[in-house]
Amino acid sequence: MIQAGGKQYRVQPGDTVMIEKLEGDLGDRVEFDQVLLLSSDDAVKVGQPLVQGAKVTGEIVEYGLGKKLIVYKFRRRKNYRRKRGHRQEFMAVKINQVVAP
User: What pLDDT score was predicted for residue 68?
Assistant: 97
Total structural domains in the chain?
1
Compute the average pLDDT of residues 13-30: 94
User: What pLDDT score was predicted for residue 89?
Assistant: 96
User: What pLDDT score was predicted for residue 41?
Assistant: 86
Report the C-alpha gap between 58 and 14 in whole angstroms. 9
User: What pLDDT score was predicted for residue 101?
Assistant: 82
User: What pLDDT score was predicted for residue 40?
Assistant: 87
Compute the average pLDDT of residues 10-19: 95
Q: How far, CA to CA in Å, does 59 sit from each of 16, 33, 53, 92?
A: 9, 15, 20, 9
For the CA atoms of 12, 41, 38, 47, the dihedral, rounded to the nearest 10 degrees, stands at: 160
- For residue 58, give its domain range: 2-99
**Is the backbone peptide bond immediately before 49 cis, with ω within 30 degrees of 0?**
yes
- Cβ neighbourhood burial of 32 (10 Å; 0-12, 13-18, 19+): buried
Give the tens place of pLDDT for each residue, 40-96: 888 999 999 999 999 999 999 999 999 999 999 999 999 999 999 999 999 999 999
